[in-house]
Copies of this chain bind each other. A is one copy, B any other.
């Protein structure tokens, strides 16, 4: 019933525990004959190293923690999947935590995980940088994802938010929309502010002065998108298009437009940031700025591994690119 230990294997193979350890970890070179005997014994006993003991001894773990800010957002789960696939290949298990965009919850998690000897962290940071900074100062490998932490030099994986937003907005302008609104996220998150900036810069490039009355900050969730859209519809003169800076808020905005029987794109053109699986078959199909979500996760995992292997390398920022998918929701006849 009890799992066999390294001593059982050693006895079975007629060698010392140290030799078993060496064979299993392939660190030191071992005589081929002994190696085979050890492997045979391990296989026969169904031996699996006890990670607790191994990790206690090495004072590290084979665990990565991914702390995301909204587990109900498919953007983050796709990303986690990228992390997981790479981590799995490297022998790491992935612990998933959901901070719910709540700095306190994030702090709790990180504090607990710090004590858990987790060997690497991938975090989509809330606004409060101290949580991440504490990890970083404790010497843990940390990669920030999706958002740039303020005043903290850690490896970071982002998309080109400003460029993606500019592209979306320019597309709306080219289609003849003029009073283009923007629903973005909390001002404290870099994702939200960069996308807003891209939106503004596209307007200015077209000779349109950004109008604060057409900008809204919401919470990156469905309900927030709904409310912001309802609010925008009351603006006078009303917007003729809207650029929504994340997927969940886009759902909310569309729901609001539907509730108000507003025709898309005739009355209001729509472009959303981040893809959704149903973009192509709703009527009209939804224009989106697609992020390479899975690839973001893979990249973060790769950076994390590099950081673990060489804690002293200079911090690096990887910026991946977005793609505009212009569909009928933003097309003027």
**Could you tell me which A residues sit within 8 Å of B by CB distance?**
1, 3, 48-53, 55-56, 59, 61, 63, 71-72, 74, 77-78, 80-81, 84, 93-98, 111-117, 138-139, 222, 248, 251, 254-255, 257-259, 276-278, 280-283
Chain B contacts for A139, CB-based, 8 A? 1
Further 12 A-B residue pairs, CB within 8 A, beyond A255-B278, A282-B282: A48-B112, A50-B117, A52-B59, A52-B117, A53-B56, A74-B77, A80-B96, A93-B112, A94-B97, A222-B277, A255-B280, A278-B278
In the complex, which residue of chain B has the Cβ closest to the Cβ of A76? Answer: B77
Chain B contacts for A1, CB-based, 8 A? 138-139
Instruction: Write 11 A-B pairs (CB below 8 A) sorted by A numbering.
Output: A3-B115, A50-B115, A51-B115, A52-B61, A71-B84, A222-B277, A257-B281, A258-B283, A278-B278, A278-B282, A283-B283
With the chains together, A98 CA to B80 CA distance in Å? 10
With the chains together, A267 CA to B111 CA distance in Å? 57
Q: Are A114 and B80 in contact (CB under 8 A)?
A: no
In the complex, which residue of chain B has the Cβ closest to the Cβ of A276? Answer: B278
In the complex, which residue of chain B has the Cβ closest to the Cβ of A254? Answer: B281
With the chains together, A139 CA to B1 CA distance in Å? 8
With the chains together, A23 CA to B81 CA distance in Å? 40
Chain B proximity of A298: nearest CB distance (Å): 14
Asked, given contacts A95-B95, A283-B283, whether A116 binds B71 with beta carbons under 8 Å apart, the answer is no
In the complex, which residue of chain B has the Cβ closest to the Cβ of A137? Answer: B1
Q: Are B114 and A48 in contact (CB under 8 A)?
A: yes
